[in-house]
Chains A and B, each alone.
Chain A
């Protein structure tokens, strides 16, 4: 079966820094793939290249076998890829349901439709989407007054608006309280399983990753150092070194102290 997403030798440099260095992987249909790594490992850079926000310095991104490298985000979205952001991006001057309606209006290509009132277009469909994330009772609230967890859920509903087959989620639970995190991730996993959507997500919370991911990739200093099922990753000494520290720093300090 063709992978949903194939990444080949993807690299990106900022000046002399190689933020993402020769990364390659595949994402199978229906798979929930996590991309983890310490701060500054290059996860967000990698994501931004997949979704077209950033041009890669080298390498290729293939969507169902079709090359999408360097395409604009809006074109990639039209091909059936949704995304959520690490820091939520919503329309603060609209109501909750209007946020979702906006994505639907764009999906049905009605942005330049002269006659209708936007607030009445696709409202029912938007309400259904809000219901899937459990926000239907907040539909007519002003988006600017929402709690952060609700914004995350709203963003998820928006990302599902065009019925994507692939979802890219950059830290879906960042900035949330622990209990909320587990709830949101469970909700996300349920929705994705029921709709058969493939997902690539980055995450800091290991509980979330190990509970839901089918497979885990570990990025460190721009390079992919491990790639495999959850148990394998848990046991991988290099991953443990990255996350727990290999004692090299202290060893060096001790050595330095010794010399002096």
Chain B
């Protein structure tokens, strides 16, 4: 009994930081509609800044002062980010801003590394709260008790701010209809900035508060990001009490999970999230999202046309050029371009889902990594030849997509995105923790192509045929009735359903199709590398594809593979430098700001302005 209570208290204490970060994210999303991927980074900054301040400021006053100051400073950094990075892109298409925040993650990661170095920092203990309290014989750190007491006060203060003050009224009004708030004369720009400050300050506060328990390290940003998303989604986007409730549930479950079912720790919260969303598609205390049919920001997408002769000739020429790469005789280029091709197929498959279907998946790596693992497991345990494995990899990924799609498509919008993220994470932890079969962290190695394809040049051609074939197939699907039906479901589900189209079914098939194509890319990937590790299933892998699709241009047909090719090449160059994340992050932010329509979209506009392309205007 004593142990049980002690664990309950630990869980409640852990909920504190989680709640603060999650409520900040929730606020920012509610008002600005920006999914702030960088929120974990502000949490990390809070920890580092707090650490430094605690070294300088003495005593108990210094300790608590440092925590408050850390929140303030992080909030100010948030303002800088909001003004410099997000303001220029608010009018960009929906969700495009998350790409910018991804750039911010990379920048903050490297800046933190530069300033504080790579060593993990051990947080100082709180003066006066260094001991433990014995509750029914079990030791409970005094600081935990302090956290349990503090958190409700922060929550209450936040609730008061939102529910009882004028500023809070504005925030709530903006959450429901920001256009209306703007029309009523409220300066939206500063409202957004203010909310961003508050959200980031909360994240910073959370980071500094957890110092005595967890310290500061460079992996904090991503490790909390997943839990924070889960908390926000379980609680219901935009609901503060929901965020608190969910933070408590998740933290307590985690503590018990560690004790009684250690294998479950990585997936537990995602399982909880899936169950909650199955029962309540908008979270425990959330309300139905009204975004969608009226929420489209930016200019509408243009009609698509099958490629004319000119474009076909150009593509044929480029393909011929690509096919002659091995003539260079450089093994390095053969391998590099094979990698790029594979990544392009992966990106194109996500682009199909996102661009044509408007289905934003945060967990597309589940199918890329899934395909890779299917092939690797078949080769390792059944001695399957490469040809068969390459056939079964997409099929396996497609099967997974059938199941995952069925669950995820019950929700829409951000909730759909979060469910896909959860399933990606589920597969990842499966690969990571089921060491006997999957090799765990060590992965599966020695998976090589059949003899005839073992030469790099031959494998290059194999990848070329399959990847280009896959991309062309995806492109054809966009022009086929199926692609049109998918767009119809996105443009107006109401009209589509009223004219006999089963929109959910169309989306489900699209999800499966995209998963299958990602699986093919994954299968090729394994044989190109000879091995597979759990990080092919990671959130970061999903985000890679997502970022590339947005940067390439969602509202274009070729954005997926163009973005993939561009960034995979750039990455290859940049990763040779020490602070490549900083450079890549700045590059991403730069592209986001100068090319809000993505690379392809912006090039097209440029071409039209220069008169090289037949413009939209002629269609009017």
Collect the chain B residues with CB atoms within 8 Å of residue A143's CB. 303
Within 8 A of A (CB), among B490-515: 490-492, 494-502, 506, 509
Alpha-carbon distance between A96 and B465 when the two chains are bound, in angstroms = 37
Q: List B residues 378-429 near A (Cβ within 8 Å).
A: none
Given A118-B479, A142-B620: A94 and B484 within 8 A (CB)?
A: yes
List residues of chain A with CB within 8 A of the CB of B491: 90-94
Given known pairs A111-B481, A111-B506, A116-B481, the reply for A93 and B300 (CB within 8 Å) is yes
- CB of A97 to closest CB in B, whole Å: 10
Given A89-B494, A102-B488, the answer on whether A111 and B300 have CB atoms closer than 8 Å is: no
**Residue B215 at the A interface, CB < 8 A?**
no
Pick from B300, B302, B481, B498: contact of A118, CB below 8 A. Answer: B481
A115 in contact (CB, < 8 A): yes
CB distance from A155 to the nearest CB of B (A): 8
Interface residues in A96-113 (C-beta closer than 8 Å to B): 98, 101-103, 105-107, 110-113
Task: Report if A142-B498 is in contact (Cβ < 8 Å); known contacts: A91-B488, A118-B481.
Answer: no
Q: Which residue of A lies closest to B485 (CB)?
A: A111
- B501 adjacent to A106 (CB under 8 Å): yes
B483 close to A (CB within 8 Å): yes
Instruction: Please provide the chain A residues from 141 to 191 with a CB less than 8 Å away from any CB of chain B in the complex.
Output: 141-145, 155, 158, 161-162
Contact partners of B304 in chain A: CB under 8 A: 93
| A contact residues around B490 at 8 Å (CB) | 93
In the complex, residue of chain A having the shortest beta-carbon distance to the beta carbon of B499: A103
Q: Are B495 and A89 interface neighbours, CB within 8 A?
A: yes
Q: Report if A73-B498 is in contact (Cβ < 8 Å); known contacts: A93-B300, A94-B491.
A: yes
Q: Is B482 an interface residue (CB 8 A)?
A: yes
Q: Is the CB of B499 within 8 A of A106?
A: yes
- Give A158 to B498 CA distance when docked, in angstroms: 10
CB within 8 Å for A102 and B484 given contacts A91-B495, A118-B479: yes
Q: Beyond A105-B484, A112-B482, is A119–B305 a contact (Cβ under 8 Å)?
A: yes
Which residues of B from 294 to 308 have beta carbons under 8 Å from A? 296, 299-306
Interface segment among A16-24, A77-85, A225-233, A240-248: the answer is A77-85
> Roughly how many angstroms separate A93 CA and B620 CA in the complex, as a whole number?
14
Please indicate the chain B residues that have their CB under 8 angstroms from the CB of A107 in the complex: 499-500
List the A residue with the shortest CB-CB distance to B303.
A95
Docked Cα-Cα span, A83 to B496, in Å, equals 11
Asked if B619 is at the interface of the complex by the 8 Å CB criterion, the answer is: yes
* Residue contact B485 to A106, C-beta cutoff 8 Å: yes
- Are the C-beta atoms of B300 and A92 separated by less than 8 Å? yes
Question: Cβ of A49: which chain B residues have Cβ within 8 Å of it?
Answer: none
- Which residues of B have CB within 8 Å of A112? 481-482, 509
Question: Do residues A141 and B620 form an inter-chain contact, with CB atoms below 8 A?
Answer: yes
Contact at A117–B616, with CB atoms within 8 Å?
A: no
Q: Is B178 an interface residue (CB 8 A)?
A: no
B494 contacts across to A, CB distance below 8 A: 53, 85, 89
Q: How far is the CA of A117 from the CA of B490 in the complex (A)?
A: 19
Q: Give every chain A residue within 8 A of B619 (Cβ-Cβ).
A: 95, 140-142, 145
CB distance from B308 to the nearest CB of A (A): 13
Which residue, of B488, B495, B499, B616, has the highest number of chain A Cβ atoms within 10 A?
B499
Q: How far, in whole Å, are A83 and B483 apart by their CA atoms in the complex? A: 24
Contacts of B303 in A (CB 8 A): 93-95, 98, 142-143
A114 at the B interface (CB under 8 A): yes
Are A102's CB and B498's CB within 8 A? no
Docked pose: A91 CA to B488 CA in angstroms: 6
Distance between Cα atoms of A145 and B500 in the complex (Å): 26
A234 within 8 A of B: no
Decide if B481 touches A91 in the complex (CB within 8 Å). Answer: no
Which residues from A are CB-within-8-Å of B495? 85, 89-91, 155, 158
Please measure, in the bound complex, the distance between the C-alpha atom of A144 and the C-alpha atom of B492, giving whole angstroms: 12
Q: Which residue, of B480, B482, B620, has the highest number of chain A Cβ atoms within 10 A?
A: B480
Distance in Å: Cβ of A74 to nearest Cβ of chain B: 5
Q: Which residues of B contact A91 (CB under 8 A)?
A: 487-488, 491-492, 495-496
Q: Which residues of B contact A28 (CB under 8 A)?
A: none
Q: Does A51 contact B (CB under 8 A)?
A: yes
Residues of A within 8 Å of B483, CB to CB, are 118
**Distance of A145 Cα from B509 Cα, bound (Å):** 31
Partner of B480, one of A77, A118, A158: A118
Which of B479, B488, B616 contacts A142 (CB under 8 A)? B616
Q: Given A89-B492, A119-B306, A142-B616 in contact, is the A161-B480 Cβ separation under 8 Å? A: no
A135 CB contacts on chain B under 8 angstroms = none
If A74-B497, A161-B499 touch, does A113 touch B616 (CB 8 Å cutoff)? no
Chain A residues near B480 (CB-CB < 8 A): 113-118
Q: A121 in the interface, Cβ–Cβ < 8 Å?
A: yes
Q: Which residue of B lies closest to A94 (CB)?
A: B303
- As a 0/1 sequence over residues 61 to 92 of chain A, the CB contacts with chain B under 8 angstroms (1 = contact) are 00000000000111001100001010001111
**Closest A residue, CB atoms, query B479:** A117
Which of B482, B487, B488, B500 is the one whose CB lies under 8 Å from A78? B500
> In the complex, what distance in Å separates the CA atom of A75 from the CA atom of B540?
42
Chain B residues with CB under 8 Å of A93's CB are 300-304, 487, 490-491
- Residue on B nearest A83 in the bound complex, by CB: B498
Q: Give A118 to B306 CA distance when docked, in angstroms.
A: 10
Which of chain B's residues have a CB closer than 8 A to the CB of A101? Answer: 484
Q: Nearest chain A CB to B355's CB is how many angstroms away?
A: 10
The answer to whether B484 and A118 touch across the interface, beta carbons within 8 angstroms, is yes
* Known contacts A89-B494, A92-B491, A93-B491; A119/B499 CB under 8 A: no
Could you tell me the distance in whole angstroms from the C-beta of A130 to the nearest C-beta in chain B? 15
Enumerate chain A residues within 8 angstroms of B492, measured Cβ to Cβ. 89-92
Contacts of B501 in A (CB 8 A): 74, 102, 106, 111
Candidates A72, A113, A114, A144; contact of B300 at CB < 8 Å: A144
CB contacts (< 8 Å) of B506 on chain A: these are: 111
Known pairs A102-B485, A119-B306, A121-B481; A74 contacts B300 (CB<8 A): no
Least distance between A41 CB and chain B CB atoms (Å): 22
Give min CB distance, B198 to chain A, whole Å.
35
Residue in B closest to A72 when the chains form the complex, CB atoms: B497
Contacts of A73 in B (CB 8 A): 497-498
Q: Which residues of A contact B481 (CB under 8 A)?
A: 105, 110-113, 116, 118, 121
Task: Compute how far the CA of A73 lies from the CA of B494 in the bound complex, rounded to whole angstroms.
Answer: 9
Cross-chain contact B479 with A111 (CB below 8 angstroms): no
**Shortest Cβ distance from B500 into chain A, in angstroms?**
4
Asked if residues A105 and B616 are in contact (CB atoms below 8 Å), the reply is no
In the bound complex, what is the Cα–Cα distance between A39 and B13 (angstroms)? Answer: 53
Q: How far is the CA of A155 from the CA of B495 in the complex (A)?
A: 9
Contact (Cβ within 8 A) B499 A77 = yes
In angstroms, Cα B497 to Cα A53, docked, is 9
The minimal Cβ–Cβ distance linking A47 to chain B, given in whole angstroms, is 11
Shortest Cβ distance from residue A252 to the other chain B in the assembled complex, whole angstroms: 34
Instruction: Report how far A74 CA is from B504 CA in the complex, Å.
Output: 12
Nearest A residue to B503, CB-CB: A74
When C-beta atoms are compared, the residue in chain B nearest to A146 turns out to be: B620
How far, in angstroms, from A78 to B499 measured CA to CA in the complex? 8
> What 4 pairs between A and B have smallest CB-CB spacing?
A89-B495, A144-B300, A93-B301, A118-B484
17 contacts between A and B (CB under 8 A): A77-B498, A77-B499, A85-B494, A90-B491, A91-B491, A91-B496, A92-B491, A92-B492, A93-B491, A102-B484, A103-B500, A105-B481, A111-B485, A112-B482, A117-B480, A118-B479, A119-B306
B residues touching A (Cβ–Cβ < 8 Å)? 296, 299-306, 479-485, 487-488, 490-492, 494-502, 506, 509, 616, 619-620
